Amino acid sequence: MRVAVHQGSYAELPSAVEASGADLVIAAEMITTGYHIGARSHELAEPADGPTASRMSALARESGVALAYGYPESDGGRVYNSVQLIGRGGQRLANYRKTHLFGDIDRDWFEPGAEAVVQAELDGLRIGLLICYDVEFPELVRAHALAGTELLVVPTALMSPYELVADTLVPARAYESQLFVAYANRCDTEQELTYCGRSCVVAPTGEVLARAGGGPELISAEVTRDALVASRLENTHLADRRPDLYRGLPV
C-alpha cells in the first residue's frame, strides 16, 4: 500500500489526492474546520455521516483513493475531536474519537472518546486510528499493536516548540510497538499557535520512510506486511513481553 500524507489545507486536499498516486491519503487533525477555534468547534461540528463525510466519500469514489481526515463530530449533544477513515469506494470504514485530550484547547470544547482501539481493514492491512496527543501515550500504541494494528494513522496538530514529538517520539513508538505509523500534521498558524509540520511515515524498524518540512507538502511511502513481518522477526519486542510480570504493576 502506498500511503501519502497531505500536510496542507483542506481546500488543497482534492488536488493533493489527485496528485498523490497513493492508495490512502491522510490529512491533519481537525483539517475540515481548523483546530484552535474554540466555540466554533461546536458551531461547525457534524455527525459522522454528515455533509462533510458525504463530500469526502465522493472524493474517495471519484479518485479511487481512501482517505483519513480529522473533524469535529457531533453526536447526541456532545462534540468529539474525531478522525474518520473512508474507503476507496466511498464507504465509511471507521470513526475514532480522541481519548487523551490536550490541555484547555481540547478539554474546554470536546468530550473524550471512550474506545481505545478503533480499526478497519483496508487493502489487506489492518489500520488503526489515533489523534495527536494520543500517540504520546505508549500504552495506547502498544494496545493497538497487541490488537493487530499494522498501520497506525495519526492526524495531528502539533505546534512549536514540540518538534521532538514528530522527530523522536513517533519513530520510537513505531519501533517499540513494531508497527507502521503515519503522522499527519498541520503547517499553518491559528491565534498564538504555529504548527510545526514535520509529518512522517515511519517503519516498524524506526526508519523514517518519508518526512515533510515545515511548509505545505505531500509525502508518501510504501507500507507492506512483508516489511512488518521481517521487522518483527528481527526486533522481537512483542514476542518477548512478560505479561505475567506486568499484572501487579500500578496503572
What are the residue numbers of the active site? 29, 98, 132
Gap between the terminal Cα atoms of the chain: 36
CA geometry: angle at 184 spanning 18 and 19, to 5°?
Answer: 10
The answer to whether residues 184 and 197 touch, using CB atoms and an 8 Å cutoff, is no
10 Å CB burial of residue 73 (0-12, 13-18, 19+) is buried
d(CA 171, CA 48) in angstroms, rounded, equals: 30
Tell whether the torsion through CA atoms of 212, 22, 178 and 158 is positive or negative. positive
Strand runs labelled E in 8-90: 24-26, 66-75, 78-86
Cis amide prior to 161 (ω within 30 degrees):
yes
